[in-house]
Structure 1
Amino acid sequence: MSLLTTSVVKAFSVLSIFVWLFSCHTSENKYEQITGQAQGTTFKIIYSTPEKVDVSNSIDSLFEAIDQSMSLWVEESLISQVNSSSDSIPVDSHFINVFLKSQELFHQSKGAFDPTVGPLLSAWGLARKKDLPLPTETKIDSLKELIGLNQFQLKGNILYKSNTKAEIDFNAIAQGYTVDVIAEYLESLNATDYLIEVGGELRSKGHNATGNSWKVGIEKPIFNSGAETNELQTIVNLDNSALATSGSYRKFVELDGKKYSHTIDPKTGKPVDHQMLSVSVIAATAMEADGYATMFMVLGEEKAIDFARKKGLLIQCISEEKGELRVSYSPGFEEIMAE
């Protein structure tokens, strides 16, 4: 949202854990279910088609195709070639789709959403992982010269970069895109109902096996560096839409009693300095929800709510104030909360 192998975690900000509250428990079960591991995380897909179809092999092929396009952990992937090359590179349709959406979000956010921020993430992340000193102002300034999606230009299917050392990391958006690709595939099979989850990014259509809306839970953002699931903060009805959550409460640097968020502001080159711990976004597509969630973690609660109100997005922000959690919503979000 980093991406695409079993050893990778979300780099821009850690996804909340979503709990499937209603699944497939009826005597006449028309739903199929597949689960597995991909893209450094787990996935779960529940779906119903007019004729029962086993989609396991096709889903594996989709994961592999997206890995070959955008995985930084696949040496020969397109994105690895882009990052290591000083020349223009032809890219595939998956890469183009994600690049164009990233470019749109980059301009909408005035640079708050920026998939070239990887060098700064690495600098701050290494300080956390290897117990190194935090990066100096000099180091930050030097790395900021590599930051900016405007250093890349797409003409047709050819990607050019003006700074040969600049790199792209689609972590903040590609997992959501993967969910959309799977949804499009299920749509091609005339799927009437489905709920798709990859690494916490979700997209739904229709109803669950009880005939009701799909219901999913959003985790309470309690600081927790482990894999344990926190208790739920909110349960929502997910009707023909997508949901993604980003947060800073699992990955952080703590020095001298101060927590440094793993969400980096591309403009300052430093961790964001606000009290928002997580934001959940509901949008038409999982790629949009994923990208907006990352953007909002950079912008903070006030700007996120204002942006969501103007764009008609449904979002939930959870912030910490004097040791207590404070929850705020954009107009309309509370209407989709399950009672």
Structure 2
Amino acid sequence: MRYRNIPLLIAAAWGLSGCDNSVPRQSMVLEGKTMGTVWRVTLADVDATRKAALQQAIQQQLDADDQTLSTWKPDSVLSRFNRYQGTAPQPVSADMADIVTEALRIGAKTAGAMDITVGPLVNLWGFGPTRAPAHIPTDAEIAAARAQTGLQHLHVIQAAEGQWLQKDLPGLYVDLSTMGEGYATDHLARLMEREGINNYLVSVGGAVLSRGQNAQGQRWRVAIQKPTDSENAVQARVDLQGHGISTSGSYRNYYELDGKRLSHIIDPATGRPIEHKLVSATVIATTALEADGWDTGLMVLGTEKAKTLALQQHLAVYLISKEGDKFVSWMSPQFSAFLIDDKEK
């Protein structure tokens, strides 16, 4: 599986005034690679002798997630489902059923803007496991790929004896990369809990989730990067308060073809990469999976539609649009509760 190859969030911990830092505490940082991006786990109050075992457990968990969701691995669970050219229900794990159920829910809320069946279009434009095309796809090629998409063709069946995915369009190709980072981040959080670790900040690519406090006894905070690939500057800072956060941006994963800069984010309605002024969407939610699903849908919709939907759904959203040479930000009332005043020490 290959996602955004450069994280759009900077996981860090800034001080909160009034905190007592007199008692030194241990901090541990673990990191590695997965799903075409990077993962990072920061822990507080964990014995240093556990580092090697935790590193191995984390990598094993993420490798298992990749083996489930990857469209790059031909033997993954998802790849096998995509190759299946029938309509009979196919057995899957509870986790796989959950991620698809959440994707279908958010897809419906965004009127199809967040569409995990957009895989044929992702591949057509060269952002999947296939190579980039030698030319801009023709209208006929786009129409043919769009004919193989549609959330209405994908179903989740849940019963006491198990879970199944079913497609009523044999050629349907599911791409879960829009939610994979959030899915894996939530798994890391559950792994920490199973290990008896209560103070952690975990991230996979552009998805982050935290619990407890950092090594200074302060709440975890995250910085949202300025939406440009020419610098690594901070646009805003937030106090996660134990929530998940995810950012989707159109400015880091792209290529140029026939003189045009093409974003990896595909609009299911047009079958083409987005071209509007919205360049970054950040969402804070209870889970990283939910945040990761919403941020992509909002990016597809564009600034004004994203604002309207964020207000309707009471989402904690931070949008950055490019107006000429300037970046213009907007946040929902729910997001403002997490924002840190730049003047705060």
Q: Which moved more, 1:237-246 or 1:153-162?
A: 153-162
For 2:257 and 2:72, the matched residues in 1 are separated by 30
Which residue is equivalent to 2:24?
28
CA shift, 1:204, in A, is: 0.7
For 1:102 and 1:244, the matched residues in 2 are separated by 15
Q: What TM-score do the two structures reach when normalised by structure 1?
A: 0.87
For 1:74 and 1:258, the matched residues in 2 are separated by 30
Where does structure 1 lack aligned partners over 5 or more consecutive residues? none
Residue aligned with 2:40, SS: strand
CA shift, 1:319, in A, is: 0.6
For 2:71 and 2:173, the matched residues in 1 are separated by 10
Residue aligned with 1:102, SS: helix
Deviations along 1:18-63, whole A, 9 cap, x unmatched? 242459x997323433222222222111224687754233222311
Q: What TM-score do the two structures reach when normalised by structure 2?
A: 0.86
Residue aligned with 2:251, SS: coil
Residues 1:112 and 1:208: Cα distance change in structure 2 (over 3 Å): same
Deviations along 1:196-230, whole A, 9 cap, x unmatched? 01112100112211222212211111255xxxx52
Which residue is equivalent to 1:218?
224
CA shift, 1:161, in A, is: 1.4
CA contact (8 A) 1:48 1:194 kept: yes
Deviations along 1:259-288, whole A, 9 cap, x unmatched? 443321101112223100111111110001
Residue aligned with 2:117, SS: coil
Q: Which moved more, 1:28-37 or 1:299-308?
A: 28-37
Which residue is equivalent to 1:94?
95
Which residue is equivalent to 1:294?
296
CA contact (8 A) 2:249 2:279 kept: yes
Residues 1:85 and 1:258: Cα distance change in structure 2 (over 3 Å): closer
Residue aligned with 1:36, SS: strand
In structure 2, give the amino acid aligned to 1:117: V
Q: Which moved more, 1:181-190 or 1:169-178?
A: 181-190
In structure 2, give the amino acid aligned to 1:325: F
Alignment of 1:84 with 2:117, yes or no, is no
CA shift, 1:141, in A, is: 0.8
CA contact (8 A) 1:309 1:330 kept: yes
CA contact (8 A) 1:277 1:320 kept: yes
Alignment of 1:189 with 2:183, yes or no, is no
CA shift, 1:188, in A, is: 2.8
Which residue is equivalent to 2:110?
109
For 2:180 and 2:194, the matched residues in 1 are separated by 21
Which residue is equivalent to 1:244?
246
CA shift, 1:85, in A, is: 1.0
- How many matched pairs? 326
CA shift, 1:258, in A, is: 4.8
Which residue is equivalent to 1:69?
68
In structure 2, give the amino acid aligned to 1:60: Q
In structure 2, give the amino acid aligned to 1:18: I
Residue aligned with 2:126, SS: helix
Which residue is equivalent to 1:180?
186
Where does structure 2 lack aligned partners over 5 or more consecutive residues? 16-20
Which residue is equivalent to 1:122?
123
For 1:155 and 1:255, the matched residues in 2 are separated by 41
Aligned mate of 2:311, from 309, 318, 337: 309
CA contact (8 A) 1:66 1:94 kept: no
CA shift, 1:154, in A, is: 2.2
Aligned mate of 1:203, from 192, 204, 209: 209
Which residue is equivalent to 1:321?
323
For 2:223 and 2:216, the matched residues in 1 are separated by 17
Aligned Cα root-mean-square deviation (Å) = 2.7
Residue aligned with 1:97, SS: helix
**Sequence identity, in percent?**
31
For 1:46 and 1:255, the matched residues in 2 are separated by 39
For 1:173 and 1:106, the matched residues in 2 are separated by 12
CA contact (8 A) 1:280 1:315 kept: yes
For 1:49 and 1:230, the matched residues in 2 are separated by 30
CA contact (8 A) 1:264 1:271 kept: yes
Structure 2 counterparts to residues 244-263 of structure 1, below 5 A: 244-254=246-256, 258-263=260-265
CA contact (8 A) 1:26 1:209 kept: no
For 2:14 and 2:54, the matched residues in 1 are separated by 21
Aligned mate of 1:235, from 234, 237, 247: 237
Aligned mate of 1:39, from 35, 42, 60: 35
For 2:25 and 2:327, the matched residues in 1 are separated by 40
Deviations along 1:282-307, whole A, 9 cap, x unmatched? 11100011110101000111221222
Residue aligned with 1:267, SS: coil
CA shift, 1:323, in A, is: 2.0
Residue aligned with 1:177, SS: helix
In structure 1, give the amino acid aligned to 2:318: Q
For 1:337 and 1:137, the matched residues in 2 are separated by 43
CA shift, 1:117, in A, is: 0.8
